[in-house]
Amino acid sequence: MLIANENATHKAYPNVLQQILSIEKAAESRSWLSQWDGINPGATPLVKLPALATALGVGELWVKDESARSELGSFKALGAPIALVRLILRVFPEQRFEANSLLSGEYRQALADFTVISATDGNHGRGLAAAAKSIGCRCVIVLHANVSIEREEAIAAYGAEIVRIAGNYDESVEKAASIAVENEWTVVSDTSYEGYEEIPRDVMQGYGTIAAEIVEQTPQAGPNESAFTHVFLQGGVGGLAAGIASYFWEVYGAQRPAFIMVEPQQADCLYQSALSGDAAKSEGSVDSVMAGLACGETSPLAWKFLKESVDHFMTIEDGAAVDAMRILASGKNQDIPLVAGESAVAGLAGLIQILKSPILAADVSIDANSRILLISTEGATAPSVYAELVGETAEVVLHRQKAWHSRDVA
């Protein structure tokens, strides 16, 4: 399903939003992250897929590959560390901590009894656990029933204490909040709710790093015009999309690219938000193979940015995501093979669905001249799940990718 957002506008980035998320703050976050050994140095790859673009009938197709961000394997390595650093700076102003020194563990002894907690589908919890380990504070992660043991073990490897519940993601969020109150701990979540916006804001600000790199990696198409006509964004609670859309909006203003939001059919909280005009809940089961997007409630803070910046909202079936994973892994017709996890491929799956229908393609103004940007948000963060869905391991795909690079160099 696809709908146009009747509230979408193409105008200058509103000052009221700039007070929340800005290029200036994103640059500060990026500077701090560059000093953290939890992420790899330099920008993640922005790769062009000319063969797939030709097959789909679009002008250009680009993919920002966040699987290479760090050993965590996803974009979540950018949000949780920044939120945790900013939280500690607010809580302990008298200590005069330095942000870079926090991430290097210099204040480990002073923060040994400071505890943070969060619910997660996997990647956010892993990012928070990694940051907490570097800083030296305690971390507790609440996991719902659909989070795999494989993802649990990956989080626990960073020293986090795991709490399991029988419910879904939204119930794990509620559980984390109640545990935090009982123990006087602090929730570090990537979704907002009434009275809780500072930390989700900081998480989203960390995601601005992705957009900043993309702007630097691509030439402008014209004065204040993006190199891309369309950007496909994954759903979830909306935090990643808000972090990226706000950055592009501030840079390009009224000339910003068109944004298309893609979600699982059964976790369509942003689609429902577009229908109602306010942050809403999903009408589905919220159980999707796209685990990182299996969220039932829109982040109200994220919605402040998305309600006017996203031009279209759409939903896809799980099978479409699996097909997209296989397409990127194959590297058909000389394109670079890419390891993209279940939640990473929503944008490509959405694009393919649109292009199957000339009517839908016309509705979103995608044609042979369109320049499309996709954000591949994760690699094989659950290796066994990836292998089962794609039919080969991530290692095999990476070997093929290495061979592609070797051929390119030769």
Residues designated catalytic: 76, 121
SS3 track for the chain: CEEECCCCCCCCCCHHHHCCCCHHHHHHHHHHHCCCCCCCCCCCCEEECHHHHHHHCCCEEEEEEHHHCCCCCEHHHCHHHHHHHHHHHHHCHHHCCCHHHHHCCCCCCCCCCCEEEEEECCHHHHHHHHHHHHHCCEEEEEECCCCCHHHHHHHHCCCCEEEECCCCHHHHHHHHHHHHHHHCCEECCCCCECCECHHHHHHHHHHHHHHHHHHHHCCCCECCECCCCEEEEECCCCHHHHHHHHHHHHHHHHHCCEEEEEEECCCCHHHHHHHHCCCCECCCCCCCCCHHHCCCECCHHHHHHHHHHEEEEEEECHHHHHHHHHHHHHCHHHCCCCCCCCCCCHHHHHHHHHHCCHHHHHHCCCCCCCEEEEEECECCCCHHHHHHHHCCCHHHHHHHHHHHHHHHHC
